[in-house]
Structure 1
Amino acid sequence: MGLLALASSVFADVKYSVVAFPENPANQIAVVVNGKPHRLQTIENTPVWSATVPGVSGSDAYYYAEVDSADKEIAREKFERRLSDVSKSATPNEFFGREQTFFPVPKLEQVFAGGRKNPSKIFDDTQIATMHFQVDAARFATMMENPHIKDLKAPKASLAFINADIIYTADDVKFSVSGNSSRMLEKVSLKASFPKTLPEGDLFSDRRNIKLRAEATDPSMMREMLYSKCLEKLGVLASEASWVRVYVNNKPQGLYLMMQDIEDDFIMNTIHQGTITNKTELGSLYQMTQAEAPMAYISDNAADYGEIYDTKFSMNVGKKEPGGKKDPKKNAERDAKKLERWITFMKDLHVFQSDNKDPVAYWSDKLELQSYLVAMVMEYLTGACDLFMRRGHNYAMYYNSKTSRYHFIPMDFDLTFNNCPKDRPNPELSYEKWVPEGAVRPLVTKLIYNNEIIKKEFEKVLFTVTKKLFNPRILFPLIDAYAQQIKAEVEWDSGVQRTTRTGVNFIENTVSFDVSINGPGNNKGSTKDVKETNKGSSKDVKDTNTGSTKDVKDTNTGSTEDVNDTNTGSTEDIDDTNTGSTEDIDDTNTGSTEDVTDTNTSSTRRAKDARKCKSKKTKGADRCRGRKSKGGRKCRSKKAKDADRCGGKKSKGGRKCRSKKAKGTDGCRTCKVKRADEGSVGMVEGIKPFIELRSKYILENFRKYENAV
């Protein structure tokens, strides 16, 4: 028996399968085992090449190669493979040129109840799937060259979806450009809509509307995935996500994040957990279409709301009557009826008073309150600068007719985890300042800011989420695993030629993959690493005119922690740590950033003892373009009594600006930018440093909820 088993392992037949796109369509893919090539054949309508090779063992080394008609290798993998389990008689569906198919990913604990009960096989964060669309080349080219034309008719495509275990094909898939302002970017997001006629049990039957997010605004291409995974573990019903390689007509389009679009099928398999399969049984879904949709009541007249809210579908409103498209009056009546219930919700919010004796009960009858509070906690924790609190959009509201309550549904998470081009937050920013001053957000201000009972609930959730999820101990291993999984894909994506159209490159995409995750100097998100990256010790920092904790306070930054962080891009705190003028600063605390790095200087000239600024030498440690100031620093004009000035009128608190007075301890050249402690200017670069500093701030300032966790 033992000899038979040994013989079977030595002389087994092994089936090899690989996804590949030969450079020359006339060539084929072969697997080379023990130095001998074996041609593979494509599986119909897919880019999967496969064949069973007799007389080989699962322990034999092999690699894939592109070969010509004479079996000459045109291109080959630069490594050798082996089956991870030699007892297996088949490989998974591998990908040509990628050594690893599966990636170990840490499992996060569920923090709050809720979430999906029926996750889909297509969303697997331990591997990267491939989606290959075959579509009319001319129509696809027109679509990609004109992404701004939203009403361009979507071409129909055939799709092959392949991951390690699945080979799936479908026809009549609508293939289109997705998004709003992102249509102007060089790499645009895409959408695949499957026909409603898919049979029950089909792989995509309950995930018919798929978004392929380009992640063109995120150099790490990780933030949206990370945010989605956190929401899942916090019980918030949002789209599942996983990365896919996208090809069209055998040509690469790049790496995308596959997510489910917020449509009727999403509502059915998330909120209703598959208990509803007919759209007519659903409630009403309202999606915000404008740059700002603040949930502010205007009047009972639907026309007064313009096109702020798009009713994706609404209960008690059937199909358009015959001729409805030609009858503006009937259409207006129908649209008004759609919005009636939503206007009622906004009106309830409008009349709500903060002194309500039982606000939790009041709002729990109208809103899934816990889920909403968790969603707001995530927005604040991650510095989400393009979601509801900050911008008033990228969300939907679903009225569940079964419970008579609304569900807040967040979406589009690429500008999270401190990925904000113009208003990157201070990690120590209070949540009560994350809604911009003067912005209308009644669902935030009335419930969270002004009502002490709900505010307390929010703070409990904030502390709990930070303690159990949003901290380095929990998230850093996941971030590292994701980084290992996609780093090669991100590099590949950056070299893909998708279109001849010249689109917009997102301003922040000049940051590298590693810096976007770990911060400048390739630190790993540790305060110690940040400090050592900048100068290595408090003595070194002092030598560059930052000094010790005391010295930092003298220069209007407050703590050693701020020293570490001000070397990463806060124009205000950088100015406060002796850089002179915000004019000279470009997110690196160097002044003349192209020539000087990590030295806390503001010109390319050398300075004795630490610093010099475009004028005469200074004996102490600092100068800045002008006359001497008391406290060790020079600015452009008159003396500054404390430690900081900036060439203009005085401000209360020790700093000058060029124009109007600044009330706090900080200002700026035009006073148009808010203080850094109000979250306008970035304090740190990178996902990890921000998580570390934000979580530390929360855990230190909300300890009173320790026993509630």
Structure 2
Amino acid sequence: MKIKCLYYLACLPTAFSAVTFRLIVPKGIPSVIVNNKSYLMKVHEFPVYKVKVDEVSAPVKYSYSVDYTGTDEESKGIVIESFDRNLDSGEETLNEYFERQINTKIHPLLPKAYESYPDYVPSKLYDDTHVATIIINGKKSELKKLHDNPTSEEKVRGVEVIYATPYSVRSFKNATIGIAGQTTVYAAKLSYSITNLKDGNGKELYKRTGIKLRAEHMDPSFLRDKIYTDLLNSLGVPTPQNKFARVFINGQAIGLYDVSDKLSNKRYLRETLNKGEKFSEENPIYKADYYPPVAIGDLGFNSIDPYDKKYGIYYYKGDSMDDLDEDGQYSRTIKMNKKHLIPFFEEIRDYPQTKKLNMDIKMFLKFMAMEFMAGGVDNYWSRPGNFYIFKNMKNNGQWLFLDSDFHFSFGAGGAKLDQYLSTTIDNYASINKDEGVTPSRPPLDNIRTDEENEKFFKSVFIRLINSSFHVDALFPRIDSLAELIREDVAWDFSLPRISGFQGAEDFKFKMKDFEYQISNEKNGCEKLQNLIPLRCWIRNKGLNIAAQLGVPYPNTPDRSLGEVETLVQTNKSNNSTSSDTSSLIIHDDYNNIEGNESGANSLYQLPFIVCYLILFIISFVLQF
């Protein structure tokens, strides 16, 4: 009997006898340190390095080091992580990131205020449980020129874009990059627009061919854009999505960014408004801006003249513009103004009498309610602009209002923010009357003349504070997102900025500003003129709207409609040799998100089981 036991013991070393470690490193040569021994890692698919360490099994403690010799940061020498990592089970780590203690993190979900928008197809790109890594490489001279002259509207073509996550690497060799934004072109930390994200096989970046990299230079919390979008998702309206990524250009660390959709992008529109299917015809789409006193995008009728300068604030973005020169684009815009835009404005003007408006009115009112609740100082109801209107020809030419750009919200974005927090629904549009803009907002004003519309509008506010805008729904999510990005925020604040614009705006935030913005709600915080903390804004705005509408502030958020789900990636096979081992799961499948699946373990147990069977037969024979 003792002899037979020895045979079985011979099999034990075959189980869990090696662990593969993976690390994302944009610069330098990494090693993994296990049991005080260092193992050099080699490129798997840049920027992912890996090494297989034999005779190591989970659970195991380890850490990483990076040797910066031969890089522009050679003075750092060899840097060793100041903390230990733990692999509790499995034979392979996810793609981890150097000096970041949190690789993936599940966030509390927001309750739905309304059912999800039915034509929207979620993308794995917006898995918000991790911070992605984006590496951009191009000609030094061209990228330097782009940064030195951020107002030039020039673009650099033929750049390489690498998108890495804990699960996968996607590379694109022929992308185009430009500086994005209007006022943000004057910031020290620039925002970017990236297009033509297709590889040699026509494969896109998770059903996206274009993205924006928003610098969030004015928001020390980095969370306002993200929270705004989360709340729009809870309202069931179509909206650009977002997530976080650290960005490098030609090896230089640029900072932490908010990855978002480019709203006029064809791929985005079809995935968001048409269930991922191609549109069969051109859908008129306009972008509206705000340039008082010349013109504002208030959607008001001015004249039947398509050449009217007041209509110049609406920029036609339809498919037919792609192959036209400047003169052709102007002619096309005039034609579309006459055929589509002006008749729409006439419908808006006449609505109080006709009660006819081929527009998704409830969607529009949800967007307006959210602007009010978040204090969107740079959005339609406050300053008419920063939105798109889309005519869905598939749905009998129904117009959709599509809001965009939410960084100036929740207490950020200039002066008088205490007024944005405390004002009433009826006085909201008057806050900026000193800018020479009347409080008239034709579609909102006219739609609200209908009793049923007004009833629905006010019900949206009540529904918000009873569900997703409730403090017990939002605060835990804010805390979780803050924990995920905290180390990357500190990294971002330490970096030099590369804009060449003289006098570029640079707020030089510190970590105390980040912590203050995500946590403070002391008495008097609601009276600040600018940068009212997130918690302070959310709590006080909820109480204010409840008082305005004469309803009690609820004790707990209502989750009866379910929760806003996010699609996340996960490794379905730790044994895979592919660089992209991701697959799609729903956000509430928490068991496998850390990448240590029991299914993969069973594969490694197979030789162990076979060995036992063989030795059992041998021991049985030896008895005779």
How high is the TM-score relative to the length of structure 2?
0.79
Please state how far the C-alpha of 1:496 moved relative to its aligned partner.
1.1
- The 8 Å contact of residues 211 and 259 in structure 1, kept in 2 or not, is answered as yes
Trace 1:318-357 onto structure 2 (pairs within 5 A). 325=325, 328=327, 332-339=330-337, 340-353=339-352
Partner secondary structure for residue 505 of structure 1: coil
2:312 corresponds in structure 1 to: 307
CA distance in 1, matches of 2:468, 2:122: 21
The counterpart of 1:432, out of the listed 426, 436, 441, is: 426
Query: C-alpha distance in 2, partners of 1:89/1:103?
Result: 20
Q: Which deviations, in whole Å up to 9, do the C-alpha atoms of 1:354-376 show, x marking residues without a partner?
A: x66xx4xx33xx11122111111
Q: For residue 161 of structure 1, what is the amino acid of its counterpart? A: Y
Task: Tell me, in whole angstroms, the C-alpha distance in 1 between the residues paired with 2:10 and 2:441.
Answer: 73
The question of whether the paired residues in 2 share the 8 Å contact of 1:161 and 1:168 is answered with yes
1:65 partner SS: strand
Are the counterparts in 1 of residues 33 and 39 from structure 2 also a CA contact under 8 Å? yes
Q: Per the alignment, do residues 309 and 196 of structure 1 end up closer, same or farther by CA in structure 2, a change over 3 Å counting?
A: farther
Structure 1 length normalisation: TM-score? 0.70
Q: CA deviation at 1:120?
A: 1.3
Q: Displacement of 1:157 after TM fit? A: 1.1
Task: Please name the residue that 1:378 is paired with.
Answer: 370
Give the superposition deviation at 1:170: 1.2
In the alignment, the residues of structure 2 paired with residue 705 and residue 692 of structure 1 have an alpha-carbon distance, to the nearest angstrom, of 14
The answer to whether 1:154 aligns with 2:146 is no
Deviation at 1:153, TM superposition (A): 3.2
Deviation at 1:203, TM superposition (A): 4.5
Q: Which amino acid letter does the alignment assign opposite residue 36 of structure 1?
A: K
Residues 128, 4 of structure 1: alpha-carbon distance in 2 compared, 3 angstrom cutoff = farther
Q: Can you give the 5+ residue segments of structure 1 that lack an aligned partner in the other structure?
A: 520-524, 531-563, 571-586, 588-680
Output the CA distance in 2 between the equivalents of 1:121 and 1:706. Answer: 36
Say whether 1:14 aligns with 2:19: yes
Deviation at 1:485, TM superposition (A): 1.1
Larger mean CA deviation between 88-97 and 187-196 belongs to 187-196
Q: 1:121 to 1:475 in 2, by over 3 A?
A: same
Any unmatched runs of 5+ in structure 2? 71-75, 561-624
Query: Is the contact made by 2:215 and 2:257 (CA closer than 8 Å) also made in structure 1?
Result: yes
Aligned match of 2:177 in 171, 175, 178?
175
Q: Give distance in 1, aligned partners of 2:478 and 2:86.
A: 27
User: Could you list the per-position Cα deviations for residues 387-441 of structure 1 after superposition, in whole angstroms to 9, with x for gaps in the alignment?
Assistant: 1100111110110001121111111111111213112044332111111242331
SS in 1 for 2:546: helix
Q: Which residue of 2 aligns with 1:696?
A: 543
Q: Structure 1 pair 368/6, CA: closer, same or farther in 2 (3 Å)?
A: farther
Equivalent in 186, 208, 212 of residue 188 of structure 2? 186
Residue number in structure 2 paired with 1:413:
406
Query: Which residue matches 2:621?
Result: none
**2: distance between equivalents of 1:68 and 1:283?**
52
Written as runs of structure 1 = structure 2, the 5 A alignment for 1:95-114 is 95-114=97-116
Would you say the 8 A contact 1:133–1:248 is kept in 2?
A: yes
**Tell me, what secondary structure is at the counterpart of 2:123?**
coil
What per-residue deviation string (whole Å, max 9, x for no partner) do you get for residues 212-241 of structure 1?
000011111100011111111211101111
The one-letter amino acid paired with 2:387 is Y
**Aligned-pair CA distance for 1:695:** 0.7
Tell me how far apart the structure 2 counterparts of residues 318 and 392 of structure 1 sit (CA, whole Å): 24
Which residue of structure 1 aligns with residue 491 of structure 2? 492
Hey, what's the Cα distance between the residues in 2 that align with 1:55 and 1:706? 59
Hey, what's the Cα distance between the residues in 1 that align with 2:499 and 2:216? 20
Structure of greater relative contact order (alpha carbons < 8 Å, 6+ residues apart): 2
C-alpha displacement at 1:54, in angstroms?
1.6
Using the alignment, how far apart are the partners of 2:255 and 2:507 within structure 1? 20
- The C-alpha deviation readout for 1:2-46, integer Å capped at 9, x for no partner, is 96885445x522111111134xx5xx21111111111111234x2
Q: Distance in 2 between matches of 1:455 and 1:302?
A: 32
Q: Which residue of 1 aligns with 2:442?
A: 442
SS at match of 1:206: coil
**Aligned residue in 1 for 2:137:** 134
**Matches of 1:371 and 1:170 in 2, distance apart?**
36
Percent identity over the alignment is: 22
Q: CA 1:509 to 1:497, structure 2 compared with 1: closer, same or farther past 3 Å?
A: closer
CA distance change for structure 1 residues 3 and 225 in 2, over 3 Å: closer, same or farther?
farther
Residue 57 (structure 2) aligns with: 57
Correspondent of 2:300 among 280, 296, 319: 296
Contact 2:256/2:488 (<8 A) preserved: yes
Relative to structure 1, the CA distance from residue 332 to residue 429 in structure 2 (aligned partners, 3 Å threshold; closer, same or farther) is closer
Letter in 2 for 1:107: L
Corresponding residue number in structure 2 for 1:122? 125
The residue that corresponds to 1:210 in the other structure is 211
1:592-631 correspondence to structure 2 within 5 Å: none
- For the residue of structure 2 that corresponds to 1:221, the secondary structure is coil
Give the count of matched residue pairs.
Answer: 527
Amino acid corresponding to residue 195 of structure 2 in structure 1: S
Q: Is the 8 A contact 2:389 2:402 kept in 1?
A: yes
Alignment partners' CA distance in 2, 1:690 and 1:123: 26
1:182-225 deviation digits (Å, cap 9, x = unpaired): 1001111011112567656x342631110000001111110001
Distance 1:180 1:472, change over 3 A: same
- Please list the CA deviations of residues 668-698 of structure 1 after superposition, one character each: whole Å capped at 9, or x if unmatched: xxxxxxxxxxxxx56x821101111111122
Change (3 A) 1:180 1:52: same
Report how far residue 307 of structure 1 moved: 2.7
